[in-house]
Amino acid sequence: MNSNMQISDNGFDDLDPKDLAVHDAAVREGGLSLAQPPSIPGMSYDAFACAVEKLRAVRLLRESSPGILVPVSPRTAAAELIGPLAREVLQRQEVIARISDSSAALIARYTGGNPSAAGSVQQLKDLHSIRLALEEAATRCHSEVLTAQPGGVRSPEVLAEALPRDRQMLERGVKMRTLYQHTTRYSKPAQAYVQRVSALGAKVRTLDEFFNRLIIFDRETVFIPDQTDPMSAVVIREPSITAFLCDVFERSWHSAEDFEVDTESPAANRTISDDVKQTILRLLADGIKDEVIARRLGMSVRTCRRHIAEIMLRLGATSRFQGGYLAHRLGMVESQGDSFASRIEGE
């Protein structure tokens, strides 16, 4: 028998009913003889030998003398299994700390010998570098992550990539708040993602429109898009800029509405639809083009134009200019408190 059989990552979960039956027999009889296996209905010697091997691997059986095995308490076995794993985790944490500490001198050399300014604003030129930097920041994050993701419907691939990273942070106690646009509520992949992370403690809200993409880790490290290159990103660690961006996020967060996964609710749909139409009305009155309105609200141009046509019909307007004029004259853009429908129908 190989008493050094590799421990399964699943621990006791790999044991099947035959394995448990052998362990029960060992407990019942106070031990087992390899030469004289216990009588277990339907179990061959090969099956018995395989079960013994697995039980020894998870420390539930140990050899007291040649050919004789005795049962071990599951609590004792678990402690024996966990010990090496805990030591390995500790060793890896020490390696991570050493790498992090030793990187400071290299960063100073890389930035020309000015460690105080090292990496305060850093440009990442390719998707691979961005992903590595995000994973590193997520691994180091210990308190809070704030995310703003405009653009409406989220790509299923992007959500699938983000879910494991977000789950790991949430499971170790990191607080997470995410802002989407209202139109994201009607994406099935987004609903599934929000349902999963919300169950782990994340908070998600939506707005009609807001600033560009933003990810903030521990209010210290900020990722924003590079406006000069859509494939690049900028990492900011300068305290004043970071504090400013955190304040921008907080102001938007307080104006947002909780993401309700149940989009079949008529009341929820009506509220979000009203918000979207009111925003379209305001942008329409400002003379903004359809394509720009659609991009700012995270919807397709076709959907945006359908909303505009409905608004124009309710206003009785025959042109965009007339619609904007009527909206301003009737005070509909500045009105607060009433629903979009009541503003139009009340005039």
Q: What is the pLDDT of residues 163-186, one digit of tens each?
A: 888 988 999 899 999 998 887 877
Q: What is the pLDDT of residues 249-297, one digit of tens each?
A: 999 999 888 887 654 444 445 555 667 777 777 777 777 787 887 777 7
| 206: confidence class by pLDDT, cuts 50, 70, 90 | confident
67: helix, strand or coil = coil
Percent of the chain with pLDDT over 70: 79
Per-residue pLDDT at 146 = 96
Per-residue pLDDT at 88 = 85
> Is a pLDDT exceeding 60 seen at residue 117?
no
> Is a pLDDT exceeding 80 seen at residue 15?
yes
Contact 87, 66 (CB under 8 A): no
| 108: confidence class by pLDDT, cuts 50, 70, 90 | low
Calculate mean pLDDT across residues 246-250. Answer: 93
Rounded-to-integer distance, Cα 196 and Cα 159, Å:
11
Calculate mean pLDDT across residues 14-28. Answer: 87
> Is a pLDDT exceeding 70 seen at residue 109?
no
Query: Which one is predicted more confidently, 188 or 130?
Result: 130
pTM of the model: 0.53
Calculate mean pLDDT across residues 73-95. Answer: 84
Rounded-to-integer distance, Cα 241 and Cα 166, Å:
25
Rounded-to-integer distance, Cα 13 and Cα 239, Å:
48
Question: What is the overall mean pLDDT for the chain?
Answer: 78
Per-residue pLDDT at 327 = 67
Rounded-to-integer distance, Cα 328 and Cα 320, Å:
12
Alpha carbon distances (Å) from 44 to 28, 41, 56, 60, 203: 19, 9, 18, 21, 55
Query: Which one is predicted more confidently, 6 or 75?
Result: 75
Domains, in order of start, for the chain: 11-72 (1.10.10.10), 119-258 (3.30.870.10), 266-345 (1.10.10.10)
Q: Which range is least confidently modeled, 26-35, 80-89, 327-336? A: 327-336
Q: Which residues contact 308 (CB under 8 A, 6 or more apart)?
A: 280, 284, 290, 293, 320, 323
Per-residue pLDDT at 176 = 94
Could you please report the per-residue DSSP string of 170-214? HHTT-EEEEEEEGGGGG-HHHHHHHHHHHHTT-EEEEESS--S-E
Tracing tokens 């807001």 back to the chain, one arrives at 210
Q: DSSP class of residue 115?
A: G
> Is a pLDDT exceeding 50 seen at residue 115?
no
The number of beta carbons lying within 10 Å of the beta carbon of residue 164 is: 11
